[in-house]
Structures are given as structure tokens and as C-alpha cells.
Amino acid sequence: MTVTLVLVIAMAVLFSCGVYLLLERSLTRMLLGFLLLGNALNLLLLVMSGAAGNPPIGKSAEGITDPLPQAFALTAIVITFAVSAFLLALIHRSWQLSRADEVEVDEADAAIGRDRDEPADEDPETTTDAEQEVTR
């Protein structure tokens, strides 16, 4: 296996584990999932940057690499750090207030979801003329 294939497989594993952890109810697991997604993104940028030593423009330069993927990777690292610090602050505040790490189900959101799943009874396009006369 080539180095690029190993990096692609590692990136896919990190993405899948990160998405799985983001779907959990625990805030700490959400943070770990976000960190895994950030690392997978850095691997994606590394893989997409191409072979090392290729010049960004032209064909004759020796040992020059493209600085744009490196700038993207540094930006991704900074953004991941900032968002993870914010998530840590949210987790700490949630722990101080309720001594719980779980995200609770919001009853209002659940009610909206149930109402959206039920068919609308008073849709004028689906009711017949006789049913409309009865309701008047």
C-alpha cells in the first residue's frame, strides 16, 4: 500500500468515528467527535496537497512545495482549537449548572417533530366539496 492510500484510509476512519461520536448525547463525546473531524480534515488537506517537492507554478523548481495547503491546514488547526475551547466552556458550564453531561430532549422540539409527521386534516386541496360544505 502506498502512503497516500494509508492516509486516505486513516482519514476515512477518523471521519466515520468523528461523525459517530458527534451523534451521541454526551457533550464530552461530541467534543471528541469534533476533534476527530478536525484531525481528519487536516489529513484530507495533506492528501489533497499532492506529492511533496512539486512546484506550485512551473516545472523546473526543485524542492518547492505549495504553501496554500499548509496555510489551509494551519487555519483548520486554529479554527478547531477555537471551537473546541468554546465546547469545553459549554461542557464546563453545563456541568456546573446541572451536574450532567447528557443533552436532554427538548419537549417543544419533539412536539413540533410529531406535528410535522401527522398529515394535515384541513388541507383544502385534498378535501372534497362535500367535506368543505359540512365544515362551513
Encode pLDDT of 27-74 as tens digits: 999 999 999 999 999 999 888 876 666 555 666 656 566 678 888 889
What is the C-alpha separation between 25 and 29, in angstroms, rounded? 8
What tens digit of pLDDT does each residue of 47-59 get?
Answer: 887 666 655 566 6
Count of C-beta atoms within a 10 Å radius of residue 7: 14
pTM for the structure as a whole: 0.70
What is the C-alpha separation between 136 and 47, in angstroms, rounded? 67
Closest CA to 76 of 38, 50, 47: 38
